[in-house]
A and B are shown apart, each in its own frame.
Chain A
């Protein structure tokens, strides 16, 4: 008896510990509970009591069994308004379930754009600037600028000049001597002009 007793207690206390870790809490507002103000929950929320204010939940919200919410609701997962639930307020949710008999009025925005704003509680500690050491290492790696010198050898491109032989094409102009057909003296330069002239 005495040995089994503590083990059983440990097991029962474990789930309660999970709730307080803040990783995924589950809150229930009972029929006699009443919240006026703003509530942010990382986890799920079930409302059976009365809420007047703003609800923001990372998990699911369920309003049922006489639960009554007046105010905007944001649920990153699902909002369920049960047949005995009442919700009056604008809603931003990924999924929405309204059961027959529920009372619901307000603007509904659904879709993948439901990304809740940053967490209002517990921030700041993780914001320490770790970037400085990285910046110190960077300049060492950048010291490799030896690439400038080898750029000189680009000059020896001279061999391009041998284009001269193109001048040899000039002799074609020698066709001018066609006029020279009249004066017989022009025959001296080359024999070809004569031949052309006679053919005409």
Chain B
């Protein structure tokens, strides 16, 4: 139920596109606000901005960003993952994972490229290299 409502909101927010990401590469954007929460599995064709609280599994064809102050207990799979908040769970970045200076990530990560800024906290196993492409990923 919450997911459907969130999706409906996301379309509205995507049209507002304050970041301009949506226009840049023509992909949709799913945006959660600081008071939103999502529990469950989200498969989304586009970018996702997570704020507030998220729990479950996120599979994203585009980029996924965890905002500062957000709390996420999720498994993540996305092209680029940018963490500024707190994440607990495994992360797969088909391209690049970035941990901001206030990021806290606890979980094993598989990435092609990795960038960790000073101040970030990471606990987990890191594996770098080419990531097996999934046929259904498109």
Q: What is A's interface to B at a CB cutoff of 8 Å?
A: 78, 95-111
> In the complex the two chains form, is A98's CB within 8 Å of B114's CB?
yes
Q: What is B's interface to A at a CB cutoff of 8 Å?
A: 96, 113-129
> In the complex the two chains form, is B115's CB within 8 Å of A105's CB?
no
Q: A105–B121 Cα gap in the complex (Å)? A: 16
16 CB < 8 A contacts A-B: A95-B119, A98-B114, A98-B115, A99-B115, A100-B113, A100-B114, A100-B115, A101-B113, A104-B114, A105-B126, A108-B122, A108-B123, A108-B125, A109-B123, A111-B121, A111-B123
> In the complex the two chains form, is A105's CB within 8 Å of B127's CB?
yes
A95-B118, A96-B116, A97-B116 known; A107 vs B96 contact (CB < 8 Å)? no
Question: For the complex, would chain B's binding face be called helix, strand, loop or mixed by DSSP majority?
Answer: strand
> In the complex the two chains form, is A98's CB within 8 Å of B116's CB?
yes
A104's partner among B96, B118, B126 (CB-CB below 8 A) is B126
> In the complex the two chains form, is B123's CB within 8 Å of A106's CB?
no
B117's partner among A97, A101, A108, A110 (CB-CB below 8 A) is A97
Given contacts A95-B119, A98-B115, A105-B126, 12 further A-B contacts (CB under 8 A): A96-B116, A96-B120, A97-B116, A99-B115, A100-B113, A100-B115, A103-B128, A104-B126, A105-B129, A108-B122, A108-B126, A109-B123
> In the complex the two chains form, is A104's CB within 8 Å of B128's CB?
yes
CB neighbours of A95 from chain B (8 A): 118-119
B125's partner among A98, A99, A107, A110 (CB-CB below 8 A) is A107
Q: How close is B22's CB to chain A, nearest CB, in angstroms?
A: 24
